Structure 1
Amino acid sequence: MPSTTVPSKIEWPDILNESVHTSDDVDIGDIYALSRDFVVVKRGIIHKIHYYYIPINKVEGWDGNVLWLKITEDEVKRNYERDRNPNPLRYSLKDYPAYSGATYPELMIISPKGEKIAYTDTTTAQTEKEEERVIYKCDLCDSQFRTEEELSRHVPASH
């Protein structure tokens, strides 16, 4: 079981590929690149990739699982979306760690936001024996399904 304790000190490069949420609690993607001035968030796959070049001063902090922003999803899309890959000579990327810019500002550690999401629940079987089952949750509308197949049918039909 993962620890819920937030480390007292963590460095920016340690959170490459981690999830980024806006102040309105929208997951806008993962940290793709870093510089001393920007966090570049990558959202999407193959032909529908979006890059958000978010100034570091718009970051609220790291809660041990998610990097939280001080701005909304709408602000991110409106002000910081760019249609270009970050230059590996100016940014630290997981696959291109050559960037050695000036030191990063301190990464604020914050308390976890909201309630923890339960990915399993305990039900009592007819034999009175407890068993865990996976909850399949749609990441777009929060609907829950009993099977992965039900979720897979829901997504294209509803979104």
Structure 2
Amino acid sequence: MMNSEKVYIEGYVVGFMVDSTGTREKRIQVSSGEIVSIDESFIHKSITPEKVKIPRMVADWIKFAKFEDYHLLGAMDAIATSGRKNLYEWFREDDNMDLFARAWLDGYEVEKEKRYIITLKSSKQKLYYHTEHEDYIFSSYDGVFYSEYHTKTDLEENGMSWVFDCPGIKIEEVDE
């Protein structure tokens, strides 16, 4: 007795061929890298929308709004009164309203934000975020509870955006 369990393979169409009987087959590259030929009638295409990439602050807002049982329009309306200036500015730019809606409906990936090391030029002290006390300090000490890598969003949200405009500050982008 033959097992009638359905199986699906994942791959991408990379070409086609027609055999001597006239049967048209698609050439599929499967995840292992191997290329197989499959009769076209057996292929089912996935119509999963591609996830959009959004900044962390937008992802945080979507997570909050869904937790609070907002609907899409309510979540979009509430951005203006949220007190989150950076979120509101992002939302009003270009096609970001559409991007927000797509992220809400189809899912999203969070963009990796650039990270920086901030150093006082005069004393060579680095800006650290004390994870236990949740505050920023300039120090030569590199301790367990300190983080020396900062995103622009984190700095802006914590009143530290002035470091980007200060001539006495050295800003170094960190490669990830």
User: TM-score under structure 1 normalisation?
Assistant: 0.21
Structure of greater relative contact order (alpha carbons < 8 Å, 6+ residues apart): 1
Q: Specify which structure has the higher proportion of helix.
A: 2
User: TM-score under structure 2 normalisation?
Assistant: 0.20
